[in-house]
Amino acid sequence: MNDKRRLMEEKAAFLNRAAEVYYQGEGELISNQEYDRIYDELETLEKETGIVLSNSPTARVGYEVISGLPKERHPSPMLSLDKTKDVGELRAWLGDKTGLLSWKLDGLTIVLTYRDGRLEKAVTRGDGITGEVITNNAKVFDNIPLVIPEKSEVVVRGEAVISYDDFEEINRTFEDADARYKNPRNLCSGTVRQLNNEITAQRHVKFYAFSLAKGGPADFRNEQLRWLADQGFDTVEYVKVDAENIEESVRGFEERIVDFSLPSDGLVLIFDDIEYGRGLGATAKFPRDSIAFKWKDETRETRLGRIIWNVSRTGSINPIAVFDPVELEGTTVSRASVHNLSIVKDLKLGEGDVITVYKANMIIPQIAENLTKSGTAVPPEECPVCGSSTVIKDDNGVETLHCPNPDCPAKRIKAFTHFVSRNAMNIEGLSEATLEKFVDEGIVREFADLFRLEEHRDFIVNMEGFGVKSFDNLVAAAEKASVTTPARLLFSLGIPNIGAANAKMIARECRNKWDKIQNITEEELAAIDGIGDIMARGYVGFFKNDVNINTVNSLMEVLTIDESFEDNSEGVLSGLIFVITGKVHHFENRDAVKATVEAAGGKTASSVSARTDFLINNDINSASSKNKKAKELDIPIITEEEFLKMLEGGNSNA
């Protein structure tokens, strides 16, 4: 059954990709006959297994917007688990019984109800007594079966989660850093409770079943999980344990936690014998048939070297302890956040103190204890970045240090976000949330630091949400981006009023020579079509500022600038200015259209004006502001097909 399910997943994913390519106008992956053949094979497998997965093209789950999420009381309370950090306690708890040890996934617990083989209802755990009905959203999770072979009533409990990779990818779509989610669990919670399930469908929520509340085998948990897999569910990964092998099994999970793709905050141990576990009953807070295992913190003794006072984008100045390197959980650790001024005082920290350190949840380095307590650490009276006088704030007894200067460079997270964006340096995988972490930790203080991340490898791979793979991907992306064009670098600097199109025009005018780009005069700039006197004055002033000069000089040490220049002034679109709007079908996106225009000698602009020669819009009858403006100015509106004919030397019908 599992082999057939995997085959169904592969066929569904391939058909969905083929349909996406076809309907977005990117060509064809397969012929119509081949598509129909694979579709028929998928339908046959679904009939054989009685399973229809939520991502199957045969399911056609519709999108729907609802006004609110109704509440529903659970038939019996869903209790939280008692916890331990001691493997010995875990072994003693299990006694001479057999149990199942599994990941404790850190997402949102969901209860699914099936009747007549079809998903009828999905409810969140809520407060354990009452949950919210999220059936509309559960139907578009990546891997939930909408139809199962079993026709009697089945109630399944499991965890809805979003992987770390999907979390980073989704967070990159939020331009506003404040709108981004802090961790995968928060993102999952917000996603599962959306009122528009089209948004849910875009966020790749996955469901992992961990128990049966009704239906299926009733004797042993491992039989239930195997049965759930036969019904089409992905189940939480588990191993069968007893007193002899439980310690070894826990170590096996521990060794994998750093690179595990799903958020997990520990393990769950449950008795395999269902009747035995049920007979134990429950306390007022916890069931007695299962227990959670939290990672025990490994501690090491070391010497505190110094405290770095690092300025965040909000202006708070956060203390970071730098200590002699120690091995913790298999990696080298040499620094830890101390969070605020109150903790520095409570721990009585000072240079040279002997401290003990650990990793909270095996990930985040922390100071456990100060053994010598010199108390000599003194907060800076001036901001370490801009030199402004610092301010101490007291919020309900918690003291924090702040920089009051609104123009402090450390607050320039938006500038870093712009610098790494797609049309600028295009460093893939660097979200604003990640940049904020790097700035907060003092890893990144200027643009050039983004190309020196290898110097902080040991620290970054142990940051929350990071691992060796994600770090290596990030370094590779930065290395790839370090070979860039003058236009990209110019746009990335964030010069006021200089957008991507203007940066390209200036670079072209300077024939891609960076020295000329940096030293072009106001008069030369003003002579470029689309560059006015105010823009020219601001541009020249930017490159006369000492701070900006130092920024560029630092970048020159880590970047390779491709100054090659192809003169396309005689291209087929030479002298023409285009504005592009609306959806495109023959190109990947509007940026690809712009690139094609410029490669053929033309220019692009963001808004329609009297100088515009053509507006490209596939919806000629659209009531958009650009269409209205073009009609008012009697500027031709052409489709992509007409634009492509122009490239081929044909005539537009406009």
Taken in order 88, 89, 94, 99, is the CA torsion positive or negative? Answer: negative
Amino acid at 197: N
Long-range pairs for 181-185: beta carbons < 8 A, 24 or more residues apart:
181/433, 182/433, 183/263, 183/464, 183/465, 184/106, 184/107, 184/263, 184/465, 185/106, 185/107, 185/108, 185/161, 185/263
Pairing of strands 145-147, 52-53: antiparallel
d(CA 243, CA 222) in angstroms, rounded, equals 17
In the chain, the largest separation of any two C-alpha atoms, in whole Å, equals 88
Q: Is 9 helix (H, G, I), strand (E, B) or coil?
A: helix
Kindly name the residue from 47, 97, 104, 393 that is annotated as catalytic.
104
Examine the residue annotation and report whether 104 is marked as an active-site residue of this protein.
yes
Per-residue DSSP letter, 70: -
Amino acid at 198: E
Task: With beta carbons less than 8 A apart as the criterion, state whether 447 and 427 touch.
Answer: no
**DSSP H helical segments within 380-451, as ranges?**
413-420, 432-440
d(CA 20, CA 400) in angstroms, rounded, equals 51
Amino acid at 296: K
Task: With beta carbons less than 8 A apart as the criterion, state whether 610 and 591 touch.
Answer: no
Determine phi and psi for 204, rounding to 5 degrees.
55, 50
567-585 burial: b if 16+ Cβ within 10 Å, else e: eeeebebeebbbbbbbebe
First-to-last CA distance in the chain?
A: 59
Across 346-471, where does the E strand assignment appear?
354-360, 364-370, 391-395, 398-402
Our measurement of the distance from residue 226's CA atom to the centroid of its chain's CA atoms, rounded to an integer in Å, reads 32
Determine phi and psi for 303, rounding to 5 degrees.
-110, 130
Catalytic residue numbers? 104
